[in-house]
Amino acid sequence: MKNIFTVVAIIAITNLFSACAALPTASKVTTSDARHNYVVSGAGSPTVILESGHGDGKESWGSIYSKVAEETRVFAYDRAGYGTSRSATKTRDGAAIVRELRSTLRALALQPPYILVGHSIGGTYMELYARTYPDEVAGVVLVDSRHADFTRQCLVADAGSCTPPALLSALLPQGPKREMAAGEETFEQVMSAGEFPDIPLIVLTGGKQFLTGQTFYDVWLTTQEQLASLSSQSVHTVCQQCGHYVHKDNPDLVVDAIISVIEQARN
C-alpha cells in the first residue's frame, strides 16, 4: 500500500518546479528574520494569509488566489527554504516559521486582523499563530490540516503510515527536509501554546484518502473533528470528492469558506 507521505511528497516536489499563471509577479522582502518571496493583491480588511502545505510554495494557492483578492487583500508567500526565500536561522520548527511570517507582515505594513488559511502542515503553523497571537486573528480556515496530536493517535490505533518513510527525506530539498525533521517539536509547540481563540473557524477535510487505508482515515477524520472543536464558531465540511489538496480539487468550496469567515469577521 502506498504511503500518504510519499504520495504528498511526489505532488509537492512537482509543485516546486511548476509555475502558476494565476499568481501575479512575486516581490521580495527582507527582515532580520528572513527573506521572503511573496505576492499580495486586493484591498480591504481583514487580510487573508495563505500558508502552504509541506513541500509546496505559494503557487499551490493559484486556484483560489484571484477570487479571494476580489473580496479583500490576500497575501501568499514562500516560506524560507522554498524557492529563493531564506531564513536567518536553520531552525524550521513552527515557532520560527510563525515568527518569520509575522515579521514579514509587519515589514509590509499588512496590519491585523488576519484570516489565516493553512493547508496540511501549513494549517498547523496557522493554528500555532492563532494560539500565540490571538488578538491578531479574526478567523481561521484549515484545509485538510494536520492535527498536532495526529501521529500519536495514529500509532495508538496501529493505523500504519503514521510517520514519514526514510526515503521521503532523501527526496526533499533542504527547506522541506528541515521542516519535517522539526515536526515533533512543532506539534509540541502547538499543544503547549495558549488557548485557540473563540473565533470563526472552518475545517475542510478531503474525503478521498483511500491510499492510506480505512483505519488511517478514521483517525484523520477524528482529529479533523477535534480541530473543529477548537472554537464554538466552527463548521466542519468533508468534501467527499476531494483528496488532500481540497483547494485544487474543489477551489470554490475553499473560496466560499474563506469569504464566509471574512463576512463573519466583518460583522
Query: What pLDDT is attached to residue 18?
Result: 40
Query: What mean pLDDT is predicted for residues 159-167?
Result: 82
pLDDT at residue 168 is higher than 50: yes
Query: What mean pLDDT is predicted for residues 186-198?
Result: 98
* C-alpha–C-alpha distance, residues 241 and 151, integer Å: 25
Single pTM value for the model: 0.91
* C-alpha–C-alpha distance, residues 71 and 204, integer Å: 20
Question: CATH number of 4-266: 3.40.190.10, 3.90.1150.10, 3.40.50.300, 3.40.50.1820?
Answer: 3.40.50.1820
Query: What mean pLDDT is predicted for residues 62-86?
Result: 97
Query: What pLDDT is attached to residue 131?
Result: 98
| CA distances, 112 to each of 25, 38, 184, 252 (Å) | 24, 17, 29, 25
pLDDT in tens, 201-239: 999 999 987 667 899 999 999 999 999 999 999 999 999
pLDDT in tens, 105-127: 999 999 999 999 999 999 999 99
pLDDT at residue 20 is higher than 90: no
93 and 47 Cβ atoms separated by less than 8 Å: no
pLDDT at residue 165 is higher than 80: no
pLDDT at residue 4 is higher than 80: no
* C-alpha–C-alpha distance, residues 121 and 141, integer Å: 13
* C-alpha–C-alpha distance, residues 102 and 98, integer Å: 6
pLDDT at residue 47 is higher than 50: yes
Q: Which residue has the higher pLDDT, 2 or 153?
A: 153
Query: What pLDDT is attached to residue 211?
Result: 64
Query: What pLDDT is attached to residue 19?
Result: 41
Q: Return the DSSP state at 236.
A: E
Q: What is the mean pLDDT of the chain?
A: 91
Query: What pLDDT is attached to residue 210?
Result: 60
